Amino acid sequence: MNLFTILRQHVATQPNAIASRSSRRVVTYRKFWSRIERATARLKSEWHVKAGDTVVYWGQGHQDALMFYIAVARCGAKLLPLEHAPLHPESIAILKNIPAVLLLHDDETVFEVPPLALVIANLSSLIATRCHHAPPVSEDISQPSLISLAALETGDLRVTKQSLQQLMENAAPHMQSNVAQEFRVAEALFDADIFAPQVLPVLVSGGTIIFR
């Protein structure tokens, strides 16, 4: 299954259905996809994110982080989510081993020491203004698009890279063919037990992801 195609189908068949909702805003599927396209254009044309690059999300379970990931995947790049506080003190070592060209953070984030990334910006700037570029997009779902970190007993970190194709395959057993559903993101969005088994099936079914 191709998530990009599915989301475009939702835009065509149920444009006013709610894709995501939070205390900040309600986003229909039409607006959701429009913002993904806007984010893709900004990533490629203004921040010069290329296929194979790594970008970082520093925050936790923000509504815009979902659009950020999908736009990153459309660019052929990889998203490294640093959503858990214990990872933040390790960020210098992490970003030395996994160099990032861009880091977007929740607006309320304050850094004592700036992370190691070429560009650091607020997540809200991803869609704050319209990008007037229309760069070509390949939408290759077989490219690695999400980096997961897990602590090992030795104290080292295990790095796992998954493509959107793999994530959708992981989500497939959790898909339901009945009515669209909802899922509420309590904290982290990209954890292994949240993103593929919970978030992706709701998007495929045309349901609503609820954020704080």
Name residues whose C-beta falls within 8 Å of residue 203's C-beta, 6 or more positions apart in sequence. 3, 6, 7, 19, 209
78-105 confidence digits (pLDDT tens): 999 999 998 999 899 999 999 999 999 9
Of residues 25, 87, 32, the one with CA closest to residue 56: 87
Amino acid identity, residue 52? G
Q: Is the pLDDT of residue 40 over 70?
A: yes
- What does the mean pLDDT of the chain come to? 93
To the question of domain 41-179+189-200 being in CATH 3.40.50.12780, the answer is yes
**Secondary structure letter of residue 85 according to DSSP:** G
Question: Who has greater pLDDT, 134 or 166?
Answer: 166
For residue 37, the Cα-to-chain-centroid distance in whole angstroms is: 13
Amino acid identity, residue 179? V
CB 7 within 8 A of CB 32: yes
CB 212 within 8 A of CB 185: yes
**Does residue 202 come out as left (phi exceeding 0), alpha (psi in the -120 to 50 range) or beta?**
alpha
Mean pLDDT of 120-137: 86
Q: Is the pLDDT of residue 179 over 60?
A: no
Predicted confidence at residue 62, as pLDDT, reads 96
Mean pLDDT of 149-174: 88
Predicted confidence at residue 128, as pLDDT, reads 84
In percent, how much of the chain has pLDDT > 70? 96
Question: Who has greater pLDDT, 31 or 86?
Answer: 31
Where exactly are the structural domains of the chain? 41-179+189-200
